[in-house]
Amino acid sequence: MTVAPERMDLPYTPEVAAATDHLYASIAKTVTRAEWELYAPYVARIQTLKRERNAVVLAHHYQTQEIYRCVADIVGDSLALAQAAAATDADTIVMCGVHFMAETAKLLSPNKTVLLPDLEAGCSLADSITAADIRALRARHPGAPVVTYVNTSAAVKAESDVCCTSANAVAVVESLGVPKVIFLPDEYLAAYVASKTKVEIVTWKGHCEVHEKFTADEIRELRTMHAGIAVLAHPECPPDVCAEADFVGSTTAMLDYIKGAKPARVAMITECSMAGNLVDAFPEIEFMQPCNLCPHMRRITLPKILRALETMSPQIEIDPAVAAPARRAVERMTQIRRDGAAAA
């Protein structure tokens, strides 16, 4: 899937420069001045509209730098974004991510307006399973609880017993105290969980189209070309890729690893925007970027964010009959964390 480029024709004026040039420093290493002069008018207008709408902009780690560093108020993993937004006094949430992330934000902030700048920003992993699929799996494995990755639709969450993230998946599975669980939908994350627990894991053949493209040969080639490189892989990658990595963890766990270990050279085996967003934050680290881009994340652009704030659309709505059980599945995960069987 390709995303057609949008026109960016708002004028770069002295007023825009005065309002935004301090932001350019945060992305100057990787964004040219000419590019910035296209972005800056949108950044300035978005910042104004955020104040007028009492809006907060959330950006996933896979968003481009002009969004991630220049208009976002909160950045992070999908669930952390939704939780942080719920804790604010904002009336409006703008999700710079994909559809399931906007739904999760709405689940946790049902009384707030949640905007997704492009409703076509989907997810191959979320699209790999339906509520009907879960009901069929329950029939084949009676009594096995369903643990569902947060990278799923609200309808799928509603059919689940508890949700998990890539960071806390093992802890959530083990907290249930049962010999077998149905773990959905990512096959590779399920394999990673199975390698860390004695609980029998029933899997589903869902994959992230970004992470499944990486290969073990790529990792070995990186090590040949860049001596001493630290390789960090997301558990949505194939098992042979994870086996070649020095560290396997969620996007937030990767960031924590970098902060703690401070390796001189890093390859992040995940969507390549994440490394791009860290270049300015860690100038002492050399980031190698094996680059697989998420086409769905690329659907979110500054013009679309601006249009969403101007029109207050598209808004995310969830059928209350779906929202209530979906919210319970998410809340049960957070309750597990509070009770001490918490995420890694």
- Altogether, the residues listed in the chain come to a count of 344
Give yes or no: residues 224 and 94 share one domain.
Answer: no
What's the pLDDT score for residue 68? 96
Cβ–Cβ under 8 Å, residues 231 and 211? no
The answer to whether residue 2 is domain-embedded is no
Give yes or no: residues 199 and 163 share one domain.
Answer: yes
The answer to whether residue 9 is domain-embedded is no
Domain count within the chain: 3
| 189-248: pLDDT as tens digits | 999 999 999 999 999 999 999 999 999 999 999 999 999 999 999 999 999 999 999 999
Give yes or no: residues 94 and 156 share one domain.
Answer: no
The answer to whether residue 80 is domain-embedded is yes
Give yes or no: residues 153 and 274 share one domain.
Answer: no
The answer to whether residue 8 is domain-embedded is no
Residue 211 CB contacts under 8 Å (≥ 6 apart), including other chains: 188, 234, 236, 237, 238, 269, 270, 271, 292
C-alpha 21/C-alpha 40 separation (Å) is 8
CATH number at residue 22: 3.40.50.10800
Q: In 10 A of CB 52, how many CB atoms?
A: 8
**Below-70 pLDDT ranges, the chain:** 1-5, 337-344
Range 30-37 contact pairs with CB under 8 angstroms and sequence separation of 24 or more: 30/65, 30/276, 30/279, 30/280, 31/65, 31/66, 35/66, 36/66, 37/12
What's the pLDDT score for residue 56? 98
Nearest to 64 by CA among 303, 280, 301, 250: 301
Q: Tell the burial category of 162 from Cβ atoms under 10 Å away from its Cβ (0-12, 13-18, 19+).
A: buried
Give yes or no: residues 20 and 100 share one domain.
Answer: yes
Give yes or no: residues 235 and 274 share one domain.
Answer: yes
Nearest to 287 by CA among 301, 273, 300: 273
The answer to whether residue 1 is domain-embedded is no
The answer to whether residue 6 is domain-embedded is no
| 34-55: pLDDT as tens digits | 999 999 999 999 999 999 999 9
What's the pLDDT score for residue 338? 52
Cβ–Cβ under 8 Å, residues 95 and 130? no
Residue 91, classed as helix, strand or coil, is coil
Rg, C-alpha atoms of the chain? 20
Give yes or no: residues 94 and 179 share one domain.
Answer: no
Give yes or no: residues 106 and 139 share one domain.
Answer: no
What's the pLDDT score for residue 339? 52
What's the pLDDT score for residue 9? 87
The answer to whether residue 343 is domain-embedded is no
Range(s) of the domain holding residue 97:
14-122+297-311
Give yes or no: residues 115 and 176 share one domain.
Answer: no
Give yes or no: residues 25 and 163 share one domain.
Answer: no
Token pair for 252 = 């937030």
Give yes or no: residues 193 and 65 share one domain.
Answer: no
What's the pLDDT score for residue 341? 37
Nearest to 56 by CA among 103, 89, 20: 89
Sheet with 162-164, strands from edge to edge, namely: 162-164, 146-149, 180-184, 200-202
What's the pLDDT score for residue 337? 57
The answer to whether residue 178 is domain-embedded is yes
Give yes or no: residues 37 and 113 share one domain.
Answer: yes
pTM of the model: 0.91
